[in-house]
Structure 1
């Protein structure tokens, strides 16, 4: 079986187990969890790294690809290895296409 096919089967099994056992998907499936309060505050959990930052845009690496946040007056209020808190006027979010 090809490597890509094995990874796809493994991911499918993990997704089904996550649902059956009612586990948090972001922990088991290596996907980010975003919490947004209005358009001013955002917490992103389970991100992999800060790729780009300025007051008009932020790019974060995640287990599912790059998330782009656009806005004005953006700033990083808090940042740990697992979580990042972003403040400012958030205008748009862009997510990778995941199949």
Structure 2
């Protein structure tokens, strides 16, 4: 499996393809501490106004804060708004 992953990374670099696409990795974009865009997710594990856990193929993202809300929830992306205090990626 690791050998295959290494070959995919090499091909991604060779053809200048973003690795998140080739390796099915999440893309996380944070705008200050007010918005967080999570792409390439596999669903929500837990959601409260102070905690959001998002599932990925490899691990999960834990977002802690206050007044967290899902302003957009689509098949491939989630937009979280509120005051983000902590973001942690657990494998």
Cross-structure match for 1:13 = 7
Alpha-carbon shift at residue 15 of structure 1 (Å): 1.1
Cross-structure match for 1:85 = 79
Out of 30, 52, 61, the position equivalent to 1:58 is 52
CA contact (8 A) 2:62 2:90 kept: no
Instruction: Determine if the alignment matches structure 1 residue 75 to structure 2 residue 72.
Output: no
Greater radius of gyration (CA) = 1
TM-score (norm 1): 0.87
Cross-structure match for 1:41 = 35
TM-score (norm 2): 0.94
Tell me, which stretches of 5 or more residues in structure 2 are unaligned? Answer: none
The alignment yields a C-alpha RMSD, in angstroms, of 0.9
Alpha-carbon shift at residue 19 of structure 1 (Å): 1.4
Out of 15, 28, 32, the position equivalent to 2:26 is 32
